[in-house]
A and B are shown apart, each in its own frame.
Chain A
């Protein structure tokens, strides 16, 4: 694994420890990205201080801002987990968007035949249906990788496009509510089945679902044999086989669970926000999830924190537009800069750790 080239001298006593560095470097990276972004908006004739003030205000400055941020963070946590869980097993699956929209579609139609039932079983049914379809979609990528050697990154992206096409085909065809004229949608779900608002927070219960799943993922990955087995499979399939792990099952299982997370995210968007499956589901949550997972280094609890940050940044975009006339894409530029700087900082931190270890 390790290469010994390119190391001329090893510092005998490092000034800072590796763990200090692994905290300091990402912070520095975010500061650097902010500086570049400040220069960018200054170039565009805006005062960077005003812009940053509005980002904080729009994302975290009021209870209304927090509600917006939290309800955006809920799906981001789940699509982040959808990238992070297979990453433990060494998979790069980035087609969360397709699993999300199909999960949303499944959630939107599964309760339609049942009118006047109790709300709770119906809500669980919606999440379950979303999770199953999403799991099936990612599971396909896992199966194709293990049995046909098809690269899972590419196949999941292709499946994502195919999933979105299937979604359009069904919501504008067979499953379309004829009453939805300008925006093709499925029949609206019974209003009593909508996910309730969390008391005291003012955000839908989907937030609680995603937090619980993140905590569950953290516990399973960190403290159980399953998490360990997954990391062994990710480290080396040959070692995993030698110690008797069924590699195919672990890889495909991780893919299915991950797709389930993305599917549940879609079902939550339908059951808590939209009330129907329509094109509003396709807003790039799946792609933001990749960002969230990589920034959080695939750690479930860190995913929650990063999802809040990204959710807040996305929530502030409309304020920037209203006050300063900056386009929506402003925050996309900022996110891209943060993403790049943190990735490079991570790589440097990893190099330094390897140097100090020797």
Chain B
């Protein structure tokens, strides 16, 4: 069977498969950023963390032969960067936007530097689950060949929801993010909570990076990321600081990002680059439509300094 025999169905199938693949790193970075922002800090540097995670994951998977060990190391590398961000931003009067940008520079620099010897070798990729086993149509099988990390990501979104809204630690995190004074009055360790939240964010962003190098696109190169780490900040605003929304937003972004390659797959190539920009255009459009001048960030944690 070929593409022609299932007709126009090939396009939505390609978009579905693409959405699942493209959205996975978005799920991890956006939920990571969400946890950090809930503590009242913004980490603009997740792009660097993502690249570092992608490199570390690929390197460890190649050296050890175990992709899951790679995922874990990617998370740990990201966590180390989160710790760095958390400590640096604990210095009073430090500009957290600028620290974020400097960590993008340092993270990509380290990833490119240490990853130079990794461009040639082939690391064992993450396995995927063939949910399309029931079908004999290759497009259906391709679309439903889903990486296990995708399901981890979905579970993560719900777990974070429960953590934030149903646990004492979640309450502490939200209090620290909403009002530093209230948190201090309650005796919460504000700085420690923020540092741990940034580390957790870095851990997840690192895992998101390892998906890029170990599953899709599935190799290490310097052009691996197309700004997923930077987009995380926009995604969290779009998701209004809710983890389930962040999951939905990531899927939507994934779908928008899959549009270009899917159309190219069925022979529409004219607007390839513009369709690749679809996630960015979509985010901007939604931000324009959903914010208002009077209350730009009504749902934002109170300590978050998005407007200076």
Is B one of A's binding partners?
yes
Does A291 lie within 8 Å of B102, measured CB to CB? yes
For the complex, give the distance between the alpha carbons of A168 and B273 in Å: 6
Residues of A within 8 A of B109 (CB): 329-336
Q: In B269-293, which residues have CB < 8 Å from any A CB?
A: 270-274, 276-277, 280-281, 283-284, 287-288, 291-293
Residues of B within 8 A of A331 (CB): 109
User: A151-175 interface mask toward B, CB cutoff 8 Å, 1 = contact, 0 = none?
Assistant: 1011101110110111011001100
Interface presence of B252 (CB below 8 A) = no
Interface of A is mostly: helix
Interface presence of B234 (CB below 8 A) = yes
Shortest A176–chain B CB gap in Å is 12
Interface presence of B166 (CB below 8 A) = no
A165-B287 contact in complex given A149-B293, A333-B109, C-beta closer than 8 Å: no
Interface presence of A147 (CB below 8 A) = yes
Residues of A within 8 A of B233 (CB): 154
A291-B116 contact in complex given A169-B271, A169-B274, C-beta closer than 8 Å: no
Closest to A338 in B: B102
Residues of A within 8 A of B92 (CB): 347, 351
A162-B281 contact in complex given A148-B293, A291-B105, A327-B113, C-beta closer than 8 Å: yes
Residues of B within 8 A of A192 (CB): none
Residues of B within 8 A of A169 (CB): 271-274
Interface presence of B94 (CB below 8 A) = yes
Interface presence of A25 (CB below 8 A) = no
| From A151, A153, A336, A339, contact of B296 by CB (8 A) | A151
A328-B112 contact in complex given A162-B281, A344-B88, C-beta closer than 8 Å: yes
Does A339 lie within 8 Å of B108, measured CB to CB? no
For the complex, give the distance between the alpha carbons of A90 and B280 in Å: 25
Residues of B within 8 A of A151 (CB): 237, 287, 296, 306-307
Interface residues on B, range: 35 or more
Does A157 lie within 8 Å of B113, measured CB to CB? no
Residues of B within 8 A of A335 (CB): 105, 109
Interface of B is mostly: helix
Interface presence of B227 (CB below 8 A) = yes
For the complex, give the distance between the alpha carbons of A331 and B106 in Å: 10
Interface presence of B160 (CB below 8 A) = no
Does A165 lie within 8 Å of B273, measured CB to CB? yes
| From B102, B234, B273, contact of A343 by CB (8 A) | B102
Residues of A within 8 A of B113 (CB): 327, 329-330, 332-333
Does B291 lie within 8 Å of A148, measured CB to CB? yes
Closest to B233 in A: A154
| From A164, A165, A290, A351, contact of B101 by CB (8 A) | A290
Residues of A within 8 A of B112 (CB): 327-329, 332
Closest to A163 in B: B277
Residues of A within 8 A of B91 (CB): 344, 347-348
For the complex, give the distance between the alpha carbons of A335 and B109 in Å: 9
Does A158 lie within 8 Å of B234, measured CB to CB? yes
Residues of A within 8 A of B186 (CB): none
Interface presence of B110 (CB below 8 A) = yes
A291-B101 contact in complex given A157-B234, A161-B277, A165-B276, C-beta closer than 8 Å: yes
Residues of B within 8 A of A337 (CB): 106
Shortest A280–chain B CB gap in Å is 15
Does A294 lie within 8 Å of B95, measured CB to CB? yes
Closest to B222 in A: A329
User: A284-299 interface mask toward B, CB cutoff 8 Å, 1 = contact, 0 = none?
Assistant: 0001001100100000
Residues of B within 8 A of A330 (CB): 109, 113
Interface presence of A350 (CB below 8 A) = yes
For the complex, give the distance between the alpha carbons of A329 and B108 in Å: 8
Interface presence of B69 (CB below 8 A) = no
Q: In B90-122, which residues have CB < 8 Å from any A CB?
A: 91-95, 97-99, 101-113, 116
| Interface of A toward B, CB cutoff 8 Å | 90, 92, 94, 144, 146-151, 153-155, 157-159, 161-162, 164-166, 168-169, 172-173, 287, 290-291, 294, 327-337, 339-340, 343-344, 346-348, 350-351
Q: Which 8 A-B pairs have the closest CB atoms?
A: A336-B106, A332-B109, A329-B112, A165-B277, A149-B296, A339-B102, A336-B105, A333-B109
Contacts beyond the supplied A294-B101, A336-B110: 6 A-B pairs with Cβ under 8 Å: A90-B308, A144-B287, A287-B101, A332-B105, A344-B94, A347-B95
